Amino acid sequence: MKACSNLAVLRTFANLGGGVDIVSGGELFRALRAGVAPSKIVYSGVGKKPLEMDYALKADILMFNVESEEELQLLNQRALALGKKARIALRVNPDVDPLTHPYISTGLKSNKFGIQIERAREIYLQAKQLPGLDSVGLDCHIGSQLTELAPFLEAVSILRKLLGNLRKDGVDIKYLDIGGGLGIPYDQETPPAPGDYGAAVLDLVENMDITLIMEPGRVLVGNAGVMVTQVLYNKHGPEKSFVIVDAAMNDLIRPSLYRAYHSIIKVKKGNEQSSRIVADIVGPICESSDFLARGREIDEPAPGELLAVMSAGAYGFSMSSNYNSRPRCAEVLVDGSNYYLIRQRETYEDLIRGETIPGHILEGK
C-alpha cells in the first residue's frame, strides 16, 4: 500500500491472495475499494485517529498493530462504544540496527515506532484486562530497503523468545507480523532473494504454530515500474552541465529526500553516436534539491528525447505531490503487449478542486 497504492495494482495483488498493511483511513478506503478482504488488512501507524479506528472496527479488519499505551486505551474505548472487539498486536521495538538509511530505519530505540520490547509483556497483560481488546498478534518492523538477512533474523529471534513468554502468560498469540523491508537493487546492491529470506524465517519459526504476516511491498513493485520523462533543455556551464527534464522532485522525491540512486536510460536508442557527458539531471521545481541524479555520466540526450528513470515502482507516485502547482502524471499498467491507463493525468482544474474564494475577498472588500 505505501509503496504503490493505485487501485489496479492493489487489486492485482488481492486477486493473488495478498492483503495490505495500512497506516491511515485513506489507505483503508483504498484497500476496500480495490476489493481487498478485510480479513487481510492490518492497521499500523503511530497516529491513528478515533474516526479512523471506528472505520476499521466497522470494516472488521484482521487486527490493529498498536504502538503506544495511550493508543491501546483509546482503541479499547472506541471498540466498546461500537460494541466491537478489536483484535490487536503490539508493535514492539527490538532495538535492532537494520543497516539502512536512517530515514527508513524503524526498529531502534531512537525511532518513533513501537513499544520498547522490555515493556511488552507488561503491556500485553494490561491489554488482557481491557474488555474491548483481543490480543491475537505480535508485530515488529525494523526498517526498509534492507540488503542483509542478519538484522531480520536477529529481530525474529527476539520475537520468538518474547512470543514464548507471552504464551506462558496466557496471551494466545496467533499471528506473527514480521514487517517487511527487503531491499531491491537500484544500483549495485545485492539484497537477498525473497526465497532465501523466506527460508531463513521459516527455519526460525518452525514448530511455533503461528501464522506469519509479511509486508514486502517494495520487492513486489519497485523494479516493475519506471518513470518516463522528456528532456527539455541541455545547459552547460563553466563548472557543471545540466539536463533539464519535465519530471521533478514532486514526481519522484526519493533522490532529493534520501539521495537515492535511480538508473536513468534513454527510452529509445538512436543510431547516432551521442557524446558522453557528466551532468545533473534536474527538473523545473524552484529548489536546488530538485534533481533526479547528480554527477551522472550519460549519453547527452537531445531536447524532446524520453528518458526512463528506473526502479520507480515503489515510493514513486505514492510520495508525489503538487508542489509548484504541478499536475501529477498519469499511471499506465503494462501486461505483456497490452497496456491500460490506470490513472489519468491531472489537469489544472484538478489542482483547484475543493478550493473556494470567500465572497468578501472575491469582491475585494
CA distances from 147 to 152, 210, 311, 320 (A): 10, 26, 16, 25
Closest to 288 (Cα-Cα) out of 338, 229, 219, 242: 242
> Strand 306-309 and strand 86-93: pairing?
unpaired
Q: Whole-angstrom distance between the N-terminal and C-terminal Cα of the chain?
A: 46
Query: CB neighbours (10 Å) of residue 166?
Result: 20
Query: Which one of the listed residues 4, 140, 286, 329 is annotated catalytic?
Result: 286
Q: What CA–CA distance (Å, rounded) separates 62 from 64? A: 7
In the residue annotation, 286 being an active-site residue is answered as: yes
Three-state secondary structure readout of 69-108: HHHHHHHHHHHHHCCCCEEEEEEEECCCCCCCCHHHECCC
Q: What are phi and psi of 283, to 5 degrees?
A: -110, -170
Task: List the catalytic residues.
Answer: 286
